[in-house]
A = this chain, B = another copy of it.
Amino acid sequence: MKLDDLVTSSHSWMQGNGPESDIVFSSRVRLARNLADNIFPNRATPNEKAQVLERILAAVKDLEHFKDGLTLKMDELEELDKQFLAERYLISRELAGGGAGSAVVISPDQSMSLMINEEDHIRFQVLLSGFRLRECFAIASQIDEQLETRLEYAYSPRLGYLSACPTNVGTGIRISAMLHLPALILLRQIEQVLQAIIKLGLAVRGLYGEGTEWFGNLFQISNQVTLGRSEEELIASIEKVIRQVMHSEKAARTSLLKTKSAVLYDKVGRAAGILGNAHIITSRETIDHLSTLRMGIDMSLVGDLDRQAVNELFILTQPAHLQKIYGKTLDASVRDVERGTLLRQRLLEK
């Protein structure tokens, strides 16, 4: 398996066939772990980081979940490749910024990835289509247990797993889900819903951002705290909130269909019309229209488009993906033209 093989392959969660995936695009569990005998990456010398890398790679090598997977060292990658991996959610922007000693191991189906020498020695994630936090956690726990037989973790009986950032100390878990909430936005109820989530102690981010701006009606909801609560408790509490948000979004969709169905059909029709016919289109405009189109598919407003095709376009139209597909680096203005070509081809195919 090579990095370029990823370009034409579909991430498991891009298939969009998980439970409740009309609203919950994906579920993710990430664990942060550190080795007991080594200094944390932010204070480590290049030599120490190299040693940690070797130790962890040796341990990961024969893990069942990463069998036939792909190991990529950051100092051996082009900038474009790093950006490509970040767009696929396979590495963090932080890891992409790391040099010698930083690496990622990716499972063949891309649902699992394990980063080495990011902020912590080890951060690995399980990312699945739909609302499947418990399944993500079960797989992550298997990986965790298998790693623990091979490596000694930095662990405090009082605090739990130690980590470079205090917010990760304890379980070291980050549980998150990407929710698609177009109807709440159309009905201007989103702020109210987001405020309620934040009051419950969870974090909300727009797509790709730490900031308050959002793209494509997509929101990542995640836990803020890991200390003092069990993984079970954390998952149960975030699941409960997600169910409430799902309920609100479903109610908003039903309400829109009843009271503003022409507006809905119009938005979805125009989105399809523009995506299928534009010749110059930015990433931002693309995401917004894809979001509207996806809503149309999920609400059965359009018949002849499949969800996977639209899901894939969310990722394939990103800047680095476009350049990987095209096979070379492209200016933003050329990318806007190539993005139009890709969209027209893909949407006409279906």
Q: Please, how many angstroms separate the alpha-carbon atoms of A277 and B274 in the complex?
A: 9
| Interface locus among A12-20, A75-83, A164-172, A261-269 | A261-269
Q: Please, how many angstroms separate the alpha-carbon atoms of A280 and B264 in the complex?
A: 10
Expressed in whole angstroms, the minimum distance between the Cβ of A334 and any Cβ of chain B is: 10
Q: Please, how many angstroms separate the alpha-carbon atoms of A58 and B101 in the complex?
A: 100
Query: Contacts of A240 on B, CB cut-off 8 Å?
Result: none
Q: Please, how many angstroms separate the alpha-carbon atoms of A254 and B265 in the complex?
A: 38
A273-300 CB contacts (< 8 Å) to partner B: 273-281
Q: Please, how many angstroms separate the alpha-carbon atoms of A64 and B340 in the complex?
A: 56
Query: Contacts of A280 on B, CB cut-off 8 Å?
Result: 262-263, 266
A270 in contact (CB, < 8 A):
yes
Considering only CB atoms and an 8 Å cut-off, how many residues of chain A contact the other chain? 19
Query: Contacts of A279 on B, CB cut-off 8 Å?
Result: 262, 265-266, 269
Chain A contact residues, majority secondary structure: helix
* Best-surrounded residue of A274, A277, A340 (most CB of chain B within 10 A): A277
A272 in contact (CB, < 8 A):
yes
Which single residue of chain B is at the shortest CB-CB distance from A281?
B266
Contact with B along A83-123 (1 / 0, CB 8 A): 00000000000000000000000000000000000000000
A44 in contact (CB, < 8 A):
no
Q: Please, how many angstroms separate the alpha-carbon atoms of A273 and B279 in the complex?
A: 11
Q: Please, how many angstroms separate the alpha-carbon atoms of A262 and B337 in the complex?
A: 7
Query: Contacts of A270 on B, CB cut-off 8 Å?
Result: 273-274, 277-278
Q: Please, how many angstroms separate the alpha-carbon atoms of A101 and B7 in the complex?
A: 76
Q: Please, how many angstroms separate the alpha-carbon atoms of A337 and B263 in the complex?
A: 9
Taking a contact as CB atoms closer than 8 A, the residue among B263, B265, B266, B277 that contacts A269 in the complex is: B277
Query: Contacts of A278 on B, CB cut-off 8 Å?
Result: 266, 269-270, 273
Query: Contacts of A265 on B, CB cut-off 8 Å?
Result: 279
In the A-B complex, list the 3 residue pairs whose CB atoms are closest, starting with the nearest: A273-B273, A273-B277, A269-B277
Can you name 11 A-B pairs with beta carbons within 8 Å?
Answer: A262-B279, A262-B280, A263-B280, A266-B279, A266-B280, A269-B340, A269-B344, A272-B277, A273-B273, A273-B276, A274-B274
A residues apposed to B, CB below 8 Å: 262-263, 265-266, 269-270, 272-281, 337, 340, 344
